[in-house]
Amino acid sequence: MMKFALTIALFVPHMVFSQQESSVTLQARLASERVPLNGTVKLTVEARWLAKSGDFTIDSIDEPKLTNLQLVETATSNQVLKENQTLVTRRIYEYTLQGETYGMAYIDEMRLHYSDSVGQSHILEAPRLSLQVVEPIAGPMSNDSLPIAVAGLLALLGAVAAILWSNDRKKNRKQVAVESEAQQTLEQQFTSRLRQEVDVHAGNLSEQYQNIAQLLRGYLHQSMAIETRVATTEELLQQLHSQQIEMSKITSVQEILQACDVQKFSGGSGDPSQLNRLFSLFETLLQEPIQAKNNAEQS
């Protein structure tokens, strides 16, 4: 019978806990011990093993059970790298959390379910974490700034009169825009968003990579009912295969999401030529259904 050793480690100052079973480790850490009520804090849960990725299969991780916290956003990624000439596989889960009220907040034990190469199931558990929700971050107003604030308020009140008279015109224009958007297909809407929200010539290329990834996940969720909220790229691709999506489309989705994953977790500045290619791949995915619809209407 295989025996497993259990190790629990506490790291200071960022509240890092880990549990190890055989050559697999589970680690949970908070970016900070305090979070403002109007801010967020990141929880990172990492599973790693000193082996090839095929030696272990990550089945699932329990959703974090939160007290005085709410889940804002999640992200998942995989990495395979060498550390001291040893191959290390990492599965990283990132949770963005926000406090609900002042006081202590808690994250209950995180449980990871995985299977080894012979199909035996195992569970790893990281201990409970805690942090404090504190007052919101706000800049104090000095006496010198009070006249400026009053002047700004008066200017705002004066502008209200100028704004009201144009409400009818704006209302009509808005109605036209809403009707136009309602007539657009999902692909046309996402094409417009892609061109508005992703700038291949921007200086912050890393942000543009993530904008493309988020838009693509949103499109897949709405068009194919793909669950993208916590799915890794590999899990998302499995869902596409199960729906018998065209292989060319799956290949494009895989290239886009994997490139965005690598850029996000490598910390690099991004490659303009690669970003242009990802933009074109996504745009082509959106244009194919539009072109097919136009051809069908003309025939």
Integer Cα distance of 229 and 64 in angstroms? 14
Integer Cα distance of 152 and 191 in angstroms? 39
How close are the terminal C-alpha atoms of the chain, in Å?
Answer: 68
Q: Name the burial class of residue 134, with classes exposed (0-12), middle (13-18) and buried (19+) by CB atoms within 10 angstroms of its CB.
A: middle
**pLDDT over threshold 70, residue 144:** no
Q: Which residues of 184-219 are buried (b: 16+ CB within 10 A; e: fewer)?
A: eeebbebbeebeeebeeeeeebbebbebbbbbbbeb
E strand intervals along 84-198: 86-99, 103-107, 110-116, 121-126, 129-134
Q: Tokens 């599973």, residue?
A: 47
Is the CB of residue 56 less than 8 Å from the CB of residue 24? Answer: yes
Tens of pLDDT, residue by residue over 25-79, are 899 999 999 999 999 999 999 988 876 656 778 888 999 999 999 999 999 888 8
Q: Which residues of 21-48 are buried (b: 16+ CB within 10 A; e: fewer)?
A: bbebbbbbbbbeeebbeeebbbbbbbbb
SS3 assignment, position 236: helix
Token readout for 63 is 């959703």
Question: Which pLDDT belongs to residue 284?
Answer: 94
Integer Cα distance of 17 and 9 in angstroms? 5
- Residue 239 CA: distances (Å) to CA of 60, 62, 221, 236: 15, 20, 11, 5
* CA contacts within 13 A on the Cβ side of 236: 30
Integer Cα distance of 221 and 243 in angstroms? 13
**pLDDT over threshold 80, residue 140:** no
- Give the distance between the most distant pair of CA atoms in the chain: 81
Q: What confidence tier does 219 reach under pLDDT thresholds 50, 70, 90?
A: very high
Domain with CATH 2.60.40.740 in the chain: 7-134
The stretch 172-193 carries a mean pLDDT of 73
Strand partners, 121: 115
0.85 exceeded by the pTM?
Answer: no
Decide if domain 7-134 falls under CATH 2.60.40.740. Answer: yes
Length in residues, the chain? 299
Tens of pLDDT, residue by residue over 22-35, are 478 899 999 999 99
Tens of pLDDT, residue by residue over 247-284, are 999 999 999 999 998 988 887 788 899 999 999 999 99
| Edge-first strand listing for the sheet containing 66-67 | 34-36, 129-134, 103-107, 66-67
